[in-house]
Amino acid sequence: MSELIPLCNSNDLTSSGQAVPFDVVYAGQTCRAFAIRYEGQVHAYLNRCTHVAMEMDYQPNRFFDDTGQWLLCATHGAAYAPDSGACRGGPCRGGLIRIELSERDGVVHWHTAYNLHPVEF
């Protein structure tokens, strides 16, 4: 059963705007992840390009291209659909790893999974 982990206030995410970063343990490794809002809906992914396992943002918390329609990897230009994480162009190998989010009462939460947990302090 998944656990809900508070991430940010709903108004911290604006459509095609800056991401909210967070750390997770995915498959036993600590990884950066990011949450975005696109066309009114919240989405989150591991911050790991499928072409080369590198963080994607070209400036801190910036993933959208100039049009606000695609998530871009700054290193080699792989493009991903913001609403699904699917590869839409460039040298990607499959889609981004999705993290389930929910939003209620002005708060965005991420959901744990069998292979996705909060970082232990």
Question: pLDDT digits over 49-78, tens only?
Answer: 887 778 898 888 999 999 999 999 988 889
| HSE, side-chain direction, 13 A CA sphere, residue 110 | 24
**Does residue 24 have a pLDDT over 90?**
yes
What average pLDDT score do residues 92-108 get?
95
Residue with tokens 């499959």: 94
Check pLDDT > 70 for residue 1.
yes
Q: Which pLDDT does position 93 carry in this prediction?
A: 82
Share of the chain above pLDDT 90, in %: 80
| Residues β-bridged to residue 22 | 33
| CA of residue 121 relative to chain centroid, distance | 22
Q: Nearest-5° angle of CA 3, CA 42, CA 52?
A: 85
Mean pLDDT estimate for the chain: 93
Task: Confirm if 98 and 45 have CB atoms less than 8 A apart.
Answer: yes
Single-letter code of the amino acid located at 98: R
Q: Would you state the pLDDT for residue 92?
A: 85
CATH class of 4-118: mainly beta
Asked if 88 and 82 count as a contact pair (C-beta separation under 8 A), the reply is: no
CB 13 within 8 A of CB 68: no
Predicted pLDDT at 120: 83
The structural domains of the chain, with segments of one domain joined by +, span 4-118
Is residue 121's pLDDT more than 70? no
